[in-house]
Amino acid sequence: MKLLRTYLTLVTLLLSFLGYSQSYNTFYGGIVNQYSPDTIHKNLVEFEGLGVKEHGTTPLTNTLNWLIDKYSNYGYTDIKIDTFNYNSQDDYNLIVTKIGTVYPNTYLIVDGHYDTKSGTGTNDNGSGVAVILEIARLLQNVNTEYSIKFINFSGEEDGLIGSTWYVNNTVIPNSMDIKLVFNIDEVGGVNGLVNNTIVCERDQSIPTLSNAASYAFTDTLATCVGLYSNLLTEISYAYSSDYMPFQANENIITGLFEKNQTSHAHSPTDFLINMDTNYVYEVTQASIGASLYFAVASQSSVGINDLNSSNIRDIKIYPNPVKDELTINLGVLTTEKTMLKLINIIGETVIEKQVTNSIEKISLNHLPAGIYTLVMSSPTMQFTEKIIH
């Protein structure tokens, strides 16, 4: 539901504020390359064929059922309808959950609305729906350290009603631990124009608590776009889409939005023919790469947390908080095939090494102050602890 945007051209720093840059990951690239233009195109055609998806209409319900079929066919089992009511009629968000291997209770939310206004909404937001479905299809079999919720919101065009409901009735009451909200809305491009740039959107609004983190994640998103697609990026501000209720709740948000803005949004001519499907394919590749990065996809499956094991309870980590050097005493645990990782608050691995001594010391001198997660893993155990530096 975006009608107007004043673009801000911003100088982006060469390095993010944490000072770490990201490089192409061949494992992620291999998954990105499995994206299927045919599948995306078919989904766009089907979405268009479902009609005008306004509140209280049969096409909206049919689209909900179409989405459920898609996720089921991709192998998802945790598929929930989140029902809300306004103007005396029910409406439905769709929530699909994939559980993370290391942080099962911390979520990457990948979202976009599926309701439309005045037309079939093939760009606004069939394009985002098609991108999210393709991410979900390709990530279903991939282990990710963080859990992912793929959310198709409704009621967006009527005033972010579905996402507001979800934040107020699920996120806040459950104190849901959200790593990042990645919103994809209107990424179809304009037929006849050169669509080679995507807008990466960050939180520049009040409340400002999460603005800096949103800036950092949005820089990371732009980096992923560069690594995994042929698109150029522009940084601008987030507004008027389903990330805003999360923004108001001080969650960290980022988003994608088309650079060439369609003139067909919210009109009966918002059809595939007025879009640029190649642009949607590029946005899909960028979004798959970013989702793998944000959810921390791992090539090998990691061991299950076994916090009841007395051996794991023997691990001693000190001092914590730590200023310079952290000591990790593995106690009786073997160091064989044991890896140590330190992950910063935006999910970047800043230290990674093979453990060789049962008392391991790592220097944190070069790292900025903040909260980190220490992950110790071997084929038989997985141990995580928050470190304050």
Could you say whether residue 270 binds Zn ion (CB under 5 A)? Answer: no
From the CB of 183, what's the least distance to Zn ion, in Å?
10
Nearer CB in complex with Zn ion: 54/250: 54
| Residue 16 or 277 with smaller CB distance to Zn ion | 277
Between 146 and 257, CB nearer to Zn ion: 257
Contact segment (CB under 5 A) with Zn ion among 3-11, 97-105, 121-129, 375-383 equals 121-129
Site for Zn ion in 145-204 (CB under 5 A): 185-186
Q: How far is the CB of 269 from Zn ion (least distance, A)?
A: 16
Nearer to Zn ion, 100 or 255 (CB): 255
Minimum distance between the CB of residue 121 and Zn ion, rounded to whole angstroms? 8
Nearest approach in angstroms of CB 270 to Zn ion is 10
Residue 124 found at the interface with Zn ion (CB under 5 A): yes
Work out how close the CB of 153 gets to Zn ion at its nearest, in angstroms, rounded to a whole number: 10
Q: Name which of 91 and 124 has its Cβ closer to Zn ion.
A: 124
| Sole window of 23-31, 62-70, 118-126, 293-301 interacting with Zn ion (rule: CB under 5 A) | 118-126
Q: What part of residues 302-361 is at the interface with Zn ion (CB under 5 A)?
A: none
Query: Residue 276, interface with Zn ion (CB under 5 A)?
Result: no
CB of 50 to Zn ion, least distance (A): 16
Task: Give the nearest distance from C-beta 186 to Zn ion in angstroms.
Answer: 5
Number of residues that bind Zn ion (CB under 5 A): 4
Instruction: Rule CB under 5 A: say whether 125 interacts with Zn ion.
Output: yes
- 3-state SS of the chain is CCCCCCCCCCCCCCCCCCCCCCCCCHHHHHHHCCCCHHHHHHHHHHHHHCCCCCCCCHHHHHHHHHHHHHHHHCCCCCEEEEEEEECCEEEEEEEEEECCCCEEEEEEEEEEECCCCCCCCCCCCHHHHHHHHHHHHHHCCCEECEEEEEEEECCCCCCCHHHHHHHHHHHCCCCCEEEEEEEECCCCCCCCCCCCEEEEEECCCCCCCCHHHHHHHHHHHHHHHHHHCCCEEEEEECCCCCCHHHHHCCCCEEEEEECCCCCCCCCCCCCHHHCCHHHHHHHHHHHHHHHHHHCCEECCCCCCCCCCCHHHHCCEEECCCCCCEEEEECCCCCCCCCEEEEECCCCCEEEEEECCCCEEEEECCCCCCCEEEEEEEECCEEEEEEEEC
- Site residues (CB under 5 A) for Zn ion? 124-125, 185-186
